[in-house]
Structure 1
């Protein structure tokens, strides 16, 4: 977890350092006059708002030990959407209360608030209606399942339905570790979703858009292994990816990352395509591919060119922790795509 802790008083710093012991990889930010060169502590250069703005997009959680009003004014310019914003927590410098201020569900702030309160013996303050009622909001469910939400309007409607006493049917892979509250009903057939007021489908294959009362949650467990010719265009890569996903009946929203071989690490078209699609690009060393390439189809031309005989298949396989190949490979205009699924 990438955690930044901000404080503007000496007493707040003492609490921040105590909190840091429970979250060792966190970074504490203090006013320069309170900075004494401690490891894991940085002085706030310039004003607080600028420092927070620089960290806001790249941190999972921001924890402020100061007045709530200061925090609201500080983060206001950087707010985007609940699907993007980090979890924001506020604490008083006496350590009595921990407030979940922003991104309580999908950003994990509510859960983090409970953790921090437990570590410090503080009182957690959570105000989201579903949590107050002991229910589970849709975005909380998605967060627990590590799923992506695409339709936020429908998400809000379903959560409102739950808060007002409604029940929602769910179909799809729900791990045994997830205990569903009473406001959800797991069913055995997709068709049973259609009859209810609202339904939730958990799966990688796209559903009919005419089912406008059914929300799809996309598991983030699909990995694309890609090989391509030199100087490939980004549009060509994207076209090949979309074609492969369509052939395998898999939604783009379920793709976790793109994986390729080290010799393609600087391939501009591949890098640009990953940025356009909003997907991380992971690089696999050829030595690792050599260890498993015997299990895949070998090309003597590729072997003589880059030292390994297969790229897309072993990249997909290794990138998903040796999961299951759903599409061995599809070649389109110089781009080879393999699709693998991580075990959930």
Structure 2
């Protein structure tokens, strides 16, 4: 995005160097070319429209203009896009907003490498060469349960305090190089030697730890789901919440909802997936037939759709043949089973 002719020239050069990425150039009509899109409003209004459409926005213009334009629309670091700022000469790429979760730091480094510029990264853990809690969470496919807790632990990491990592959910740490002051806790009886603790857990209960702590929730919960036609999304969401609450499972760990092709267009299931930020997974009838003998059969379901079961076979397959945490539960036209996915 740029507001000048020089900016368009740089944007075109950058687009060529990023030919492996999906990119668009936006500028004012007076500088537009055949391949560019039009900024058809004042920059602040336009930014409000476009921030939700892209993962990363690269603004080739003055930093002050960008700060004022994005200010009214900033939400939270977990949802804001990455924002970059570049000078029209292409000398510097500044990671301005959402450096970690929004991907601005990595995007700045990539652009700098492609056009021989200097990436300007100011996040404390990057400057110090260590790792923030949100970066660790992303690397091991977790979400942060409480960002205030994460901020407190990251501050301890920056201050070189000893941090323990309790990997209750056996998250995959292969390929993750932990900073020197973060170490895996082999024996919980030694927990008092740490200034703070990072815990991977699906449990909603507070850990019995008298230290600063943050919980990282792995995206491991898979639900097998079946429902009557046109079941409202609100009812499905409430049924899922009640089911997870009964198991003390954190809904932030919900990875996917699995069902059969017949239910692929169910609006209620789609609304539930959107609400929980979960993926909808469709399991083929052939795959269900291969595993359905493992589960309780229903003649009524077979007469209706030609399969003996939906929820449990779908959850079993979608979880990578994982662990069943709850066998199918029937709730007024909604059937759910709960699974822990394999790594």
Provide the TM-score with structure 1 as the length reference.
0.86
Cα distance change of structure 1 residues 271 and 184 upon mapping to structure 2, 3 Å threshold = same
Please give the alpha-carbon distance, in whole angstroms, between the structure 2 residues aligned to 1:307 and 1:112.
Answer: 49
Is the CA contact 1:271–1:281 (under 8 Å) kept in the aligned structure 2? no
* Matches for 1:163-242 after TM superposition, within 5 Å: 163-172=158-167, 173-190=171-188, 192-193=190-191, 196-208=194-206, 211=209, 213-234=212-233, 236-242=235-241
Q: Identify which of 89, 94, 117 aligns with 2:89.
A: 94
**Per-residue deviation, 1:137:** 1.2
**Per-residue deviation, 1:201:** 0.6
Aligned partner of residue 199 in structure 2, secondary structure: strand
Aligned partner of residue 101 in structure 2, secondary structure: coil
Please give the alpha-carbon distance, in whole angstroms, between the structure 2 residues aligned to 1:326 and 1:194.
Answer: 34
Is the CA contact 1:316–1:325 (under 8 Å) kept in the aligned structure 2? no
Is the CA contact 1:261–1:311 (under 8 Å) kept in the aligned structure 2? yes
Q: 5+ residue gaps in structure 1?
A: 1-5
Cα distance change of structure 1 residues 31 and 233 upon mapping to structure 2, 3 Å threshold = closer
Please give the alpha-carbon distance, in whole angstroms, between the structure 1 residues aligned to 2:157 and 2:263.
Answer: 48
Is the CA contact 2:252–2:276 (under 8 Å) kept in the aligned structure 1? no
Q: Give the corresponding residue for 1:3.
A: none
* Matches for 1:275-314 after TM superposition, within 5 Å: 275=274, 277-280=275-278, 282=280, 284=282, 288-296=284-292, 297=295, 298-314=297-313
Say whether residues 1:18 and 2:8 are aligned partners. Answer: no
Q: Give the corresponding residue for 2:117.
A: 122
Aligned partner of residue 98 in structure 1, secondary structure: strand
**Per-residue deviation, 1:223:** 2.1
Q: Give the corresponding residue for 2:155.
A: 160
More displaced, 131-140 or 293-302? 293-302
Please give the alpha-carbon distance, in whole angstroms, between the structure 2 residues aligned to 1:9 and 1:319.
Answer: 50
Q: Give the corresponding residue for 1:136.
A: 131
**Per-residue deviation, 1:63:** 1.0
**Per-residue deviation, 1:221:** 2.8
**Per-residue deviation, 1:290:** 2.3
Is the CA contact 1:240–1:336 (under 8 Å) kept in the aligned structure 2? no
**Per-residue deviation, 1:67:** 0.9
Please give the alpha-carbon distance, in whole angstroms, between the structure 2 residues aligned to 1:214 and 1:107.
Answer: 24
Provide the TM-score with structure 2 as the length reference.
0.86
Cα distance change of structure 1 residues 283 and 184 upon mapping to structure 2, 3 Å threshold = closer
Say whether residues 1:70 and 2:65 are aligned partners. Answer: yes
Aligned partner of residue 27 in structure 1, secondary structure: coil
Q: Give the corresponding residue for 1:111.
A: 106
Q: 5+ residue gaps in structure 2?
A: none
